[in-house]
Amino acid sequence: MDVHVLFFASLAERAGLRSEVVAVDAAATVETLWRELESRHPALVGLPYRPLAACDQVWTAWDATLARVREVAFVPPVSGG
């Protein structure tokens, strides 16, 4: 199945894009998706933090499966204010 991946802020810069479509298998988790993204975009490897993930705009743990998820967003630690 395909998931729509979103990157924000420094992650978008590192990946060189703000969104892409990635095919994942039925057992995929947030973490396995991230590993795939690291292999596509080497600048994402070795971050000093683990990005936050949101599946269909709900903050989600990295071991969550992507069954029926359409959109996965990855964001760096926030710094608003």
Residue 53, SS3 per DSSP: strand
Three-state DSSP class for residue 72:
strand
Q: Per CB under 8 A, does 30 bind other proteins?
A: no
Q: How far is the CB of 79 from other proteins (least distance, A)?
A: 4
Contact flag: residue 62 with other proteins (CB under 8 A): no
> Is-contact 37 16, C-beta < 8 A?
no
In the complex, least distance from residue 39 CB atom to other proteins, rounded to whole angstroms? 23
Tell which residue, 66, 43, 40, has the closest CA to residue 53. Answer: 66
Residues that bind other proteins (CB under 8 A): 6, 8-10, 13, 49, 54, 57, 73, 75-81
